[in-house]
Amino acid sequence: VWTALNTNKKLTEARRGRERQGERLLCRDISRGYEAVPITCVNGVDSEPCPDNFKYVPDSCVTSPLNIDNDITRLQHCSCADDCSSSSCMCAQLSLRCWYDSDGRLPLDFCQFEPPVLFECNHACSCWRSCRNRVVQNGLRVRLQLFRTEKMGWGVRALQDVPQGAFVCEYVGEIIRDTEADKRESDSFLFTLDNKVGDTHCIDAKSFGNIGRFLNHLCEPNLLAVRVFTTHQDLRFPRIAFFSSRPIRAGEIDYGENYWRVKSKYFSCQCGSVKCRYSAGPAEYSILIGCRLSLSENGHLKSSSSHISLRRPKHQPLTGKSENLEHR
């Protein structure tokens, strides 16, 4: 018995050693403490170091004046004394209703093909900071990890099971005008915020971004993109929040078929799914807000009314590496 136990111990230690050798921890937290939970970075595929060609920011930023309306006196707000779950909450009425349940999740009947805009309570409201109608503004809560994939560059996976309807992360970057986007050399990380209100703007996550810039495509998506307003109500500049469109097992994440309406012109899908429809051949597409997305077992975006379009690259063809927007 002792021999068997000793042998088993050695095999276990050897296996753990192989696992440690196979996947190296490159960074304890790529957000540098700016997120509520650390985001580790690991690589068990090649010698590529942790990405350092962008600045991690937890919220979208601007590098030139955009005149975002942040006037607190123009914010529609509530005067709730409860948890803002009732139909009398003004902010909930702006969203048609308070969609979040007591756990901060979207319900099963949330419209995934044309989701409403979510207006969370804001700093002009009389409710408590802990009210039910504050989820996206509370930041990252799901434990995520940046990891090196064999065929798609960097990807994102969940380190915990994620229930359907849970907030996963945002798509964060530099907010720029469409005219500025036309001048930039690479379109790989651009989302167009086409809300039919005033000038068109984009979120560019190339130089400034968060974990959302590394999300990968999966032909069986598990994320849903929703427009959310928190600190302002300027309809030109929604926050883009990703919620789980189905239960996500630890290890996955992705984001939608419409991704390939643009990307399949330049490279084929490498998601490995038996249901993959984009492993070869071109197609014409755009990504719309209300799209579905996914985290890596893998990850996805699907269409709806108000756009969040992935811009087609004009300056250079995309390679398998830049394909990861997944969104990558």
**Rounded CA gap, 120 and 135, in Å?**
8
Distance between CA atoms of residues 307 and 204, nearest Å: 15
**Stronger pLDDT, 139 or 113, i.e. the higher one:** 139
Specify the pLDDT at position 208.
Answer: 97
Confidence category of residue 264, pLDDT binned at 50, 70, 90: low
The topology (CATH level 3) of 24-56+76-169+222-254 is Beta-clip-like (2.170.270)
pLDDT for res 111: 76
Q: Please state, in angstroms and as integers, the Cα–Cα distance from residue 158 to each residue in 72, 87, 114, 268, following that order.
A: 36, 34, 26, 24
Q: According to the model, what pLDDT value does residue 109 have?
A: 86
Pairing of strands 253-254, 154-158: unpaired
What's the CA gap between 275 and 19, in Å, rounded? 30
Instruction: Using alpha carbons, select from 142, 289, 303 the residue that is nearest to residue 210.
Output: 142
Q: Give me the chain's average pLDDT, please.
A: 78
| Residue ranges of domains in the chain | 24-56+76-169+222-254
Comparing 17-26, 68-77, 81-90, 275-284, the range with the smallest average pLDDT is: 275-284
pLDDT of residue 150: 86
Model pTM score? 0.75
Q: How confident is the model at residue 5 (pLDDT cuts 50, 70, 90)?
A: low
Residue 268: pLDDT band with limits 50, 70, 90: low
The predicted model gives 140-158 an average pLDDT of 93
